[in-house]
A and B are shown apart, each in its own frame.
Chain A
Amino acid sequence: MVEKKVEVKNLNVWFGQTHSLKDINLDIYDNEVLTIIGPANSGKTTFLRMLNRLNELQENFRFSGEIIFDHKNFFDFSVQELRKKIGMVFALPVPLPLTVFDNVAYGPKLHGIRDRGKLKEIVERSLRLAYLWEEVKDRLNASAFLLSGGQQQRLCIARTLACEPEIILFDEPCSGLDPVSTAKIEEAMQELKKDYTLVLVTNNVKQAARVGDRTAFFLSGELIEIERTDRLFTAPKDNRTEGYISGRFG
């Protein structure tokens, strides 16, 4: 079997009284695409935000359990280092109030890259990887808010890529987008899966089937089933999974 990149053991998450993740045990392998499906409020976002350590910004957040990342305790890494290594793309595109160029260069600058030539190189490479370069190469100095929604989301992907993460977390990156933009983002993901470990939360079961190596099904904070994507969709073991999938495929 390929190497384990992340091991999540008995993870429980609470927000105040809400028990949002219940005893999650799950491994993420190096270089795989893990998709996570599940109905609203099943804890998918909470799980991703756990891996990017964003949950702890919430005051009423508590958790128990263990996470191993690269064979080391997840919490032995500094928060900044970890967030650089495990990047996140949010459901709604949030460009920073900067130019297109500065959005992408934001992460590398944080991590100490000052050289203008080097930054340009990183920006171009990241934008190409996100399938956005051709569309924005002439307006790198325009405000990022002038881009369309779909372009903004790809800009956010490029911005995450520019930090040279090892794992990229996508939280329903296409939920607000039209089919063309969605196709472009999926295309980018197909390319990215060659070099990165991807975790993709999606409410689009077909999308999960298209890009996922393995798929996990979450339901009310529990991990019901995790399987190879083709198997999970053709022969789910749990009938709750089956119910969700068949409902989804209609």
Chain B
Amino acid sequence: MNQKIKQKIAFFILFLSICLVVIPIVLLVIFIGIKGLPAINWEFLTGLPKQGMRAGGIFPAIVGTVYLVIGAVLFSLPIGILSAIYLSEYAKENILTRLIRLAIINLSGVPSIVYGLFGLAFFVIFFNFGTSVLSGSLTLGIMILPIIITATQESLKSVPYAFREVSLSLGATKWQTIKNIVLPNALPGILTGTILGIARAAGETAPILFTVAAFYLPHLPKSIFDQVMALPYHLYVISTQIPGVPDRMRYGTALVLLVMVLSINLIAIILRYQLRKKKRW
């Protein structure tokens, strides 16, 4: 009896903490949804900004964000996966690799404005890429690199050692084993990491502030050396820099960004679930 009461209390506390996590998120989505929905229409999504961004659409910002995210992933996914493979499959355990691992973990805790300044110094000025899609993508790419490396390393590690041993015992080389057995089974985790990285890249303002984002640019970029508008920065601009922007435009922009990020996360969850279903160990 006593145990049962204890159990109930424990469940109640767990339930409460879940509510504390879920309620603010739900409220946030509802709040933004109600306030932003009136702004959403075809012109808003596909049109150019007008009247000093007080009217018209946010199409350039949407496109800019998509470009930046694609660029960031193109850069960080191959490098991230390859370095994770090196770190967890090939590198010998020594002080150097331990330092590298520690550095990677710490990199994911670095504030994003620091990445922004780094991108400014390194890509914009040192490499002379200017404020451009290229600089912005590379900066975002570097920012999400630790996410991808950590996720990949973890999913590589989750592939049982026995599988590798069997593959090797049949005469496979190490690389064949990684390619045929380890990577395919690590894929769900790698994908999840990547998509979480994408969501992060899509939502950050600070890294693109000095490296790519245009205050107002009512046309689409023609090359990777052009500037673009981006959703998070646009939101910042119309919320703080320009007087007289109607409320619904601000919340509409926020809603678009929110829906983009949430649906990327949703894709991650579904993909993970689908791939998990297939595996049986």
Give residues in A with beta carbon < 8 Å to B: 52, 54, 57, 80-81, 83-84, 87-88, 90, 92, 94, 96-97, 106-107, 110-111, 143, 145-146, 156, 159-160, 163
B173 at the interface (CB under 8 A from A): yes
Residues in A with CB closer than 8 Å to B185 are 97
- In the complex with contacts A97-B279, A106-B180, A145-B281, A111-B168 CB distance below 8 A: no
State which of A87, A94, A110 has its C-beta within 8 Å of the C-beta of B162: A94
Known: A83-B169, A92-B162, A107-B171. 6 other contacts (CB 8 A): A54-B165, A80-B171, A84-B170, A87-B169, A90-B162, A146-B280
Would B170 and A163 count as touching, CB distance under 8 A? yes
Would A57 and B168 count as touching, CB distance under 8 A? yes
Instruction: Write the nearest CB–CB distance from B189 to chain A, whole angstroms.
Output: 14
Give residues in B with beta carbon < 8 Å to A: 162-163, 165-173, 176, 180-181, 184-185, 279-281
Residues in A with CB closer than 8 Å to B279 are 97
Residues in B with CB closer than 8 Å to A52 are 169
- Classify the secondary structure of B's interface with A: helix
Would A107 and B170 count as touching, CB distance under 8 A? yes
Chain A, Cβ-Cβ closest to B93: A59
How far is A163 from B171 in the complex, measured between Cα atoms in Å?
Answer: 9
Would A97 and B281 count as touching, CB distance under 8 A? yes
Chain A, Cβ-Cβ closest to B159: A97
Instruction: Write the nearest CB–CB distance from B14 to chain A, whole angstroms.
Output: 33
Instruction: Write the nearest CB–CB distance from A203 to chain B, whole angstroms.
Output: 21
Chain B, Cβ-Cβ closest to A143: B280
Instruction: Write the nearest CB–CB distance from A13 to chain B, whole angstroms.
Output: 17
State which of B169, B171, B172, B280 has its C-beta within 8 Å of the C-beta of A97: B280
State which of A88, A96, A143 has its C-beta within 8 Å of the C-beta of B181: A96
> Can you give 5 A-B contacts (C-beta < 8 A)?
A83-B170, A87-B169, A90-B162, A96-B163, A159-B170
Residues in A with CB closer than 8 Å to B167 are 96, 106
Residues in B with CB closer than 8 Å to A94 are 162-163, 165-166
Would A97 and B163 count as touching, CB distance under 8 A? yes
Residues in B with CB closer than 8 Å to A145 are 280-281
- In the complex with contacts A96-B181, A97-B185, A145-B281, A83-B168 CB distance below 8 A: yes
Residues in B with CB closer than 8 Å to A80 are 171-173
- In the complex with contacts A97-B281, A146-B280, A106-B170 CB distance below 8 A: yes
Would A83 and B281 count as touching, CB distance under 8 A? no
How far is A96 from B159 in the complex, measured between Cα atoms in Å?
Answer: 11
How far is A2 from B171 in the complex, measured between Cα atoms in Å?
Answer: 28
Chain A, Cβ-Cβ closest to B162: A94
Residues in B with CB closer than 8 Å to A160 are 170
| Most-contacted residue by chain A among B163, B169, B184 (CB, 10 A) | B169
Residues in A with CB closer than 8 Å to B165 are 54, 57, 90, 94
How far is A84 from B163 in the complex, measured between Cα atoms in Å?
Answer: 17
| Most-contacted residue by chain A among B166, B176, B184, B279 (CB, 10 A) | B166
Instruction: Please give me the 7 A-B residue pairs with the lowest Cβ-Cβ distance, nearest first.
Output: A84-B171, A145-B280, A83-B171, A107-B170, A80-B171, A94-B162, A88-B169
Chain B, Cβ-Cβ closest to A90: B166
How far is A111 from B167 in the complex, measured between Cα atoms in Å?
Answer: 12
Residues in B with CB closer than 8 Å to A111 are 171
Residues in B with CB closer than 8 Å to A156 are 166
How far is A169 from B119 in the complex, measured between Cα atoms in Å?
Answer: 57
Instruction: Write the nearest CB–CB distance from A10 to chain B, whole angstroms.
Output: 25
How far is A96 from B168 in the complex, measured between Cα atoms in Å?
Answer: 12
Residues in A with CB closer than 8 Å to B170 are 83-84, 87, 106-107, 110, 159-160, 163
